[in-house]
Structure 1
Amino acid sequence: MNNLEQNFSFLRIMLLVVSLAAVGQITNTIYVPAMTMIANSFAILATHVQSIMAIYLLTYGLSQFIYGPFSDYFGRKPIIIVGLIIFVIGSITTTLATTFQLLFIGSCIQGCGIGCGGVMARTVMRDLYHGPQLHRAASHVSVALIVAPLIAPLLGGILASFWGWRACFAFLILFSICVLIAEYSLFPETNKFAYSTKLSGQRFYNNYLTIFKNYQFLGYMTCLVVTFSGVCIFEAVGGILFSRVLGFSPFITSLWFTLPLPAYMLGSSISGFLAKRWPLKQTLLLGIALLFIGAISLLLTGLLQWINIYAIIIPITLYMFAAGIVFPAATSGALEPFPQLAGTAGALLGGVQNLGAGFAIFISAMFRQTSQLPLGIILSILSFTVLIVFIVIFNDDSAYQTNYRV
């Protein structure tokens, strides 16, 4: 295969993986500008609408523990098709929901289906690449994982303004069907180890245990989970801060939501650029330090009661820039040791990541969002946790394996 063919193949697979990942990520935030509309429609508190996002993330995470090992055995493509069909069913349920309970159930089904996308976003690149190439590929995919949920509120704001909150979920039906057709028609099987081992529950358990005992994997996974939780909490409460506290319309709220997007993309690009120039450990430390600065800045503006859009958006933009550096570095570092168990490792990584984020959102929903102070407190605690984990786990160089500077 010549370079042109290789580039075309990479671009095709990248677009298919990004599209699949985007379905799950768009679902998470497309209705954020319409949260007040949903609350009014079902006569509930706006903070209770966060439970939709929380249950979606929980089922999205839990389902990955099943999709990952099955994709190691059956291959990636069959799992993608089954997951997308389940997601379409869930999207139809949410669109037609007549009670908040049905909307909750529909979100649960959506998470159970598109969990396949969470696995493949991490796994397919590991099927094809390793070392610095894996880091750079992960930086491209990580853009989709964050860009999609930040762009989604802009789309959701437009849809909700013209056609109401149900239009957000109706869009998901159409989008997921288009992705299903594309994956069925164009996605090549990337798992060269499919059907190479016997399928059994004991093997699933042993594979998970092997990965979970890996010191390097645990360190990178913890950094990912805590950082991703902070991003998801902002996605959950940002709409309330912008609309309820600052009084912006759904459309203006969605515009402010997308403002940190270029910063994340820049951070992810820098992470990929540094892949062949810095040790992975050094890149990760840079991202963590910037996470901490962004979180503390938001905390200070809250303590000083500077309740305005700039006091919120500037620290959040720095936090997103830092997350853009951390995500691809930590993802590639976690998956690097497991070429034959990429699906299982990706499932564990994505599953725990989303379970942690779902739990964090449940906790944040307990606080009244009257200013950015609660968000600043939570992000500061999370950032401090990441810093401590980095110091404790990566302080021992013998535990650190992935140092692929060339």
Structure 2
Amino acid sequence: MRLDSLNGSGPVHQSSRKALPLKSSSSNPQTPEMVQVESALPLAPVFASVFLLALLAALGQFASNVYTPSLPFVAASLGVDIDAVQLTLVTYMLAFGVGQLIYGPLADRFGRRPVLFGGLVLFLVGTLCCALSSSLPALLWSRALQALGVASTNVVARAAARDSFSGSELLRATAMIAIVFTLVPGMAPFVGGVIQALAGWRANFWLTLLLGLLISLYMLVKLPETGHTRLNRIDARAVIRGYLDILSVRRAIFCSLTGGLVFATASIFYAASPALYMEHLEIGPVEYGLYPPLSIAGFIAGSLLTRRLADEVTEDWILVRGLAIMFPALVLMLFFPLVDVVHKHLFNVCIVIHSVGLGMFTPTASALVLSHFPVSKTLMTMQTNREV
């Protein structure tokens, strides 16, 4: 097991730290020559380091969701329609997706820590600008900068775990990251609703700024450089060729596109839900923040069901059943407003059912995509899948 990058238990020899290979996202026969580097930082205990990686991976999710209860109040404060303010969610997701494609090659070239630190600086600056924004265009640009910076945390955290662990230790590390990554989007709106009720919408960005600053300081102290080999240069053609190779596999693209579409249905609902719940149903921001955790519970239930069925049925069977669960819930959410039946609990039940199907479909589709490519392209494949 490659535990010496993050594990502080037991003696660690300098030579063993040099021997850690980086499974570069750009590795292929044309990959430029790689050089070995060393980390000068002390090593942190495994649990503390993995928890830090989990916090880093989930920071972008927190920043994306914490201010959703404030959307109507942002619209009123800036003097625009809530439909226009919802563009801040779209802008964030687009910039976040683009950033994930960029940071993988950069982390291979310059190392995990420098790229992560640079991304966190961009995130902190963008979050500060969000808190100080006095117009919608300023807020849109600030959200784009915020997302572009925090995209580094998701990519580098998972790469650092893969650099430092193997076997069962890697499984436990990625499981903790996945748990935190899944729970944060459900809890962030509740936190944001409470902050909105107490201090207003700008306070959510100040809270995000404080959280990002604390995580950044913790990262600087506790997280060593885990990528012990570096690319001498970034071969842009090799990177593009690697992404094109991934896009050429039809089944992988089908899973990615279908997964992107079904995930988009949930994203659209969450983007529209502040207006639906708080304006049309006249629900307060604190109560609104209680509902997203229900969908997270549904997603976890679907994922656990998938894990139970994994050895008994095929992946295609799970994909079809996941879609079969999601589709009726989507139809009902579209049908109820047409017949003037709009109630918060009806939508809550529908989104929970949809989330169960999503929890079955998403991990299965991701596993199918990854199964078509060698380990050397795992990080690149994950970035492409998330971008879709």
Tell me if both proteins adopt one fold, taking TM over 0.5 as the criterion: yes
Please give the alpha-carbon distance, in whole angstroms, between the structure 1 residues aligned to 2:147 and 2:368: 26
Report the CA distance between 1:101 and its aligned residue. 2.2
1:277-356 equivalences in 2 (<5 Å):
277-336=312-371, 337-352=373-388
**8 A Cα contact 1:136 1:328, kept in partner:** no
Q: Is the counterpart of residue 253 in structure 1 residue 288 in structure 2?
A: yes
Q: Is the counterpart of residue 34 in structure 1 residue 70 in structure 2?
A: yes
The answer to which structure has the higher helix fraction is 1
Q: Is the counterpart of residue 239 in structure 1 residue 286 in structure 2?
A: no
Aligned to 1:367: none
Q: Is the counterpart of residue 226 in structure 1 residue 255 in structure 2?
A: no
Please give the alpha-carbon distance, in whole angstroms, between the structure 2 residues aligned to 1:332 and 1:122: 16
Cα distance change on mapping 1:116 and 1:298 into 2, 3 Å: same
Please give the alpha-carbon distance, in whole angstroms, between the structure 2 residues aligned to 1:209 and 1:75: 24
Report the CA distance between 1:197 and its aligned residue. 6.9
- TM superposition score normalised by structure 2: 0.79
1:55 aligns with one of 91, 116, 138: 91
Please give the alpha-carbon distance, in whole angstroms, between the structure 1 residues aligned to 2:256 and 2:76: 38
Please give the alpha-carbon distance, in whole angstroms, between the structure 1 residues aligned to 2:167 and 2:153: 23
Residues 92-149 of structure 1 show CA distances to partners (whole Å, capped at 9, x for unaligned) of 1111222222222211110110111343466556667899998997666444444322
Please give the alpha-carbon distance, in whole angstroms, between the structure 2 residues aligned to 1:80 and 1:199: 17
Please give the alpha-carbon distance, in whole angstroms, between the structure 1 residues aligned to 2:142 and 2:106: 24
Cα distance change on mapping 1:2 and 1:187 into 2, 3 Å: closer
Please give the alpha-carbon distance, in whole angstroms, between the structure 1 residues aligned to 2:184 and 2:100: 20
Please give the alpha-carbon distance, in whole angstroms, between the structure 1 residues aligned to 2:327 and 2:252: 22
Task: Give the letter for the 2:239 counterpart.
Answer: F
Report the CA distance between 1:299 and its aligned residue. 2.7
Please give the alpha-carbon distance, in whole angstroms, between the structure 1 residues aligned to 2:243 and 2:72: 41
Cα distance change on mapping 1:166 and 1:205 into 2, 3 Å: same
- TM superposition score normalised by structure 1: 0.76
Cα distance change on mapping 1:237 and 1:145 into 2, 3 Å: farther
Aligned to 1:384: none
Report % sequence identity. 24
Aligned to 1:391: none
Cα distance change on mapping 1:123 and 1:35 into 2, 3 Å: same
1:171 aligns with one of 192, 202, 207: 207
**8 A Cα contact 2:57 2:158, kept in partner:** no
Task: Give the letter for the 1:330 counterpart.
Answer: A
State the structure with more CA Rg.
2
For residue 248 of structure 1, give the secondary structure of its aligned residue in structure 2.
coil
Residues 347-367 of structure 1 show CA distances to partners (whole Å, capped at 9, x for unaligned) of 222223xxxxxxxxxxxxxxx
1:116 aligns with one of 135, 152, 174: 152
For residue 244 of structure 1, give the secondary structure of its aligned residue in structure 2.
helix
Please give the alpha-carbon distance, in whole angstroms, between the structure 2 residues aligned to 1:266 and 1:132: 23
Please give the alpha-carbon distance, in whole angstroms, between the structure 2 residues aligned to 1:130 and 1:326: 26
Report the CA distance between 1:47 and its aligned residue. 1.4
Cα distance change on mapping 1:97 and 1:244 into 2, 3 Å: same
Task: Give the letter for the 1:291 counterpart.
Answer: M
Please give the alpha-carbon distance, in whole angstroms, between the structure 1 residues aligned to 2:46 and 2:260: 28
**8 A Cα contact 2:302 2:360, kept in partner:** yes
Please give the alpha-carbon distance, in whole angstroms, between the structure 1 residues aligned to 2:294 and 2:360: 17
**8 A Cα contact 2:57 2:153, kept in partner:** yes
Worse-matched range after superposition: 129-138 or 303-312: 129-138
**8 A Cα contact 1:139 1:272, kept in partner:** no
Worse-matched range after superposition: 153-162 or 279-288: 279-288
Cα distance change on mapping 1:2 and 1:119 into 2, 3 Å: closer
Aligned to 1:46: 82
**8 A Cα contact 2:51 2:176, kept in partner:** no
Please give the alpha-carbon distance, in whole angstroms, between the structure 2 residues aligned to 1:95 and 1:116: 21
Report the CA distance between 1:158 and its aligned residue. 0.7
**8 A Cα contact 1:127 1:191, kept in partner:** yes
For residue 195 of structure 1, give the secondary structure of its aligned residue in structure 2.
strand
Task: Give the letter for the 2:206 counterpart.
Answer: A
What root-mean-square deviation, in Å, do the aligned CA atoms of Structure 1 and Structure 2 show? 3.1
Query: Can you give the 5+ residue segments of structure 1 that lack an aligned partner in the other structure?
Result: 353-406
4+ residue segments displaced more than 6 Å? 5-10, 128-139
2:121 aligns with one of 79, 85, 92: 85
